[in-house]
């Protein structure tokens, strides 16, 4: 059975980084960075969906995911700029909960990440207004196919001549930083003797993208 180091780490994030790396290295999961992300609208009504946690800044203390700013989650974050995330790795018997305020990533960071995405995903970001109503899925697929034909598909070994003009990031698509002010580490135990530690710290706003985090405080919780 896995247990947390004793004494408890002062900062939970290096451990989270290690776990993310260990699950990725195990090769057992297609997306080891899958995170359930909860947001709430202005009335406090919650909604949850999966996203990919694409970057963890251990030094500053934020987690980054990417999406369409006009999607339901984007609109909810406009109204209520806080979110909660949960990751679970069955093979490690580990659950991690993340909470805090959310801000959009700096544009240059979103540009840099967008440029690394497969061409088809970049084209999809041009074609799909995520979470807007869609009358005709076949028509959407046709538009997608036509746009791929117009802009060029990803070059492959079979068709290395594919590709085409650079596809820039649309302004409505980009990253969010979930600044971590609450983190819970949960390790599965025998007879449900799960080991739980909740970490909290105070965040003070520095600028549009940045918070300054105080020292982490930790508290064990009953299973
Ligand atoms: C494993 C998995 C990973 C996903 N990753 C993302 C992601 O990183 N960004 C994203 O916008 N949607 C992602 N999605 C789709 C979302 O779950 C969701 O359908 C979409 O973002 C629209 O959500 P919304 O209407 O609440 O904004 C993912 C779905 C799954 C199942």
**CB 52 near ligand 1, within 6 Å:** yes
In the structure, what pLDDT confidence band is assigned to residue 214 with cuts at 50, 70 and 90?
very high
**Dist. CA 50 → ligand 1 center (Å):** 5
Given this model, what pLDDT does residue 146 score?
A: 97
pLDDT in tens, 160-194: 777 889 999 999 999 999 999 999 999 999 999 99
- Output the pLDDT for position 163: 82
Interval between CA 10 and ligand 1 midpoint (Å):
32
State the pLDDT confidence band at 22, using cuts at 50, 70 and 90. Answer: very high
- Rounded-to-integer distance, Cα 151 and Cα 218, Å: 51
Give the Å distance between the CA of 205 and the centre of ligand 1.
28
With both helix axes pointing from N to C terminus, report the angle between 137-151 and 119-127 in degrees, rounded to the nearest 10: 130
pLDDT at site 158: 80
- Segment 25-46, tens digit of pLDDT: 998 888 999 999 999 999 999 9
pLDDT at residue 156 is higher than 90: no
Q: Give the residue ranges of DSSP H helices in the chain.
A: 13-26, 72-79, 107-116, 119-127, 137-151
Q: Is the CB of 71 under 6 A from ligand 1?
A: yes
Q: Where are the domains of the chain?
A: 13-117+171-221
Average pLDDT over residues 5-11: 96
Nearest ligand 1 atom to the CA of 49 is 17
Rounded mean pLDDT, 123-134:
97
Distance 98 CA to ligand 1 centre (A): 17
Mean pLDDT value of segment 110-117: 97
- Decide: residue 190, CB within 10 A, 0-12 exposed, 13-18 middle, 19+ buried: exposed
SS3 126: helix
* Band of residue 155 on the pLDDT scale cut at 50, 70, 90: confident
Residue pair 218/13 in contact by the 8 Å Cβ criterion: no
Determine the pLDDT at residue 121. 97
117 lines ligand 1 (CB under 6 A): no
Task: Please give the distance, rounded to the nearest whole angstrom, from the Cα atom of residue 220 to the centre of ligand 1.
Answer: 32
Residue 203: pLDDT over 70: yes
pLDDT of residue 1: 65
The finding on whether 34 has its CB within 6 A of some atom of ligand 1 is: yes
Instruction: Tell whether domain 13-117+171-221 is in CATH 2.30.110.10.
Output: yes
5 pLDDT above the threshold of 90 = yes
pLDDT for res 91: 87
Mean pLDDT of 96-112: 98
């Amino acid at each position: 059975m896995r247990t947390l180091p004793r004494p408890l780490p002062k900062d939970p994030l290096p451990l989270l980084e290690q776990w993310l790396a260990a699950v990725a290295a195990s090769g057992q999961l297609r997306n080891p960075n899958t995170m359930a992300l909860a947001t709430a609208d202005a009335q406090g009504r919650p909604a949850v969906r999966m996203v990919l946690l694409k970057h963890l800044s251990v030094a500053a203390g934020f987690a980054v995911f990417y999406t369409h700013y006009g999607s339901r989650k984007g609109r909810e974050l406009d109204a209520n700029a806080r979110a909660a995330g949960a990751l679970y790795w069955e093979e490690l018997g580990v659950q991690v909960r993340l909470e805090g305020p959310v801000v959009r990533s700096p544009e240059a960071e979103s540009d840099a990440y967008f440029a690394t995405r497969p061409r088809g995903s970049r084209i999809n970001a041009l074609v799909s207004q995520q979470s807007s109503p869609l009358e005709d899925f076949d028509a959407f697929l046709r538009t997608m196919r036509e746009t791929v034909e117009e802009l060029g598909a990803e070059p492959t070994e079979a068709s290395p001549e594919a590709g085409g003009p650079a596809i820039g990031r649309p302004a409505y698509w980009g990253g969010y930083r979930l600044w971590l002010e609450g983190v819970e580490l949960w390790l599965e135990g025998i007879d449900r003797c799960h080991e739980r530690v909740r970490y909290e710290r105070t965040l003070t706003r520095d600028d549009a993208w940045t918070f300054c985090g105080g020292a982490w405080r930790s508290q064990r919780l009953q299973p």
